[in-house]
Amino acid sequence: MKRNHRFEHEGIKFRINRTAPLIIVKASLNGKGPFDFVVDTGASMTVISPAVAKRAGVNAKGVKAKATGAHGHIDATIGRLKSMKIGDTEASGLSVAIMSLAIVNRATNLKLGGVIGYNLLKRYVVTIDYSKRRIFFKAAQSPKARRSKRSSERKR
């Protein structure tokens, strides 16, 4: 995960949808985009639309899956991104569910490229500053690194 420390302090600008209180950020996938993505702390996996998958060169012929949402089950295909960039924060090797976002787009009057879910968010300490309309991604320490730090602090 690459980070620009200057940007980490300024945060990434987001907008809030008027129809529903959704945080929307711009993201690039495999160097293509930007596309509008909703940040969804309740989504277990990052999702991209078939159109975005095609534009970003993501293979849509992976493992088949069923996604469950507010409107029931939707067929999905699991793909893998080489990179996903949000502002100056970049993640690599991210699994994504490729599935239609038509229902969400109709309900919100948006043209979303995807949804940022837990499998990306868990890599970071995420802070949302609503008053400044900024979201901050700080690389999270692995559990092993946290244990090692606590152990060395106890020895002092």
At 95-129, the pLDDT tens digits run 999 999 998 888 888 999 999 999 999 999 999 99
Beta-carbon count within 10 A of 22 CB: 20
pLDDT at 148 over 70: no
Write down the pTM of the prediction. Answer: 0.81
pLDDT at 6 over 50: no
Rounded to an integer, what distance in angstroms lies between the CA atom of residue 104 and that of residue 6? Answer: 34
Q: What is the pLDDT of residue 72?
A: 66
Write the Ramachandran bin of 64: left for phi over 0, alpha for psi from -120 to 50, otherwise beta.
beta
* Half-sphere exposure at residue 87, Cβ-oriented, CA atoms within 13 angstroms: 20
Q: What is the pLDDT of residue 143?
A: 63
Contact 48, 60 (CB under 8 A): no
Q: What are the Cα distances from residue 64, in Å, to 97, 109, 155?
A: 9, 28, 49
At 31-78, the pLDDT tens digits run 999 999 999 999 999 999 999 999 999 987 777 776 666 566 678 789
Q: What is the pLDDT of residue 8?
A: 47
Name every residue whose Cβ is closer than 8 Å to that of residue 3 and which is 6 or more positions away in sequence: 88, 89, 90, 137, 138, 139
Rounded to an integer, what distance in angstroms lies between the CA atom of residue 28 and that of residue 22? Answer: 19
Contact 117, 40 (CB under 8 A): yes
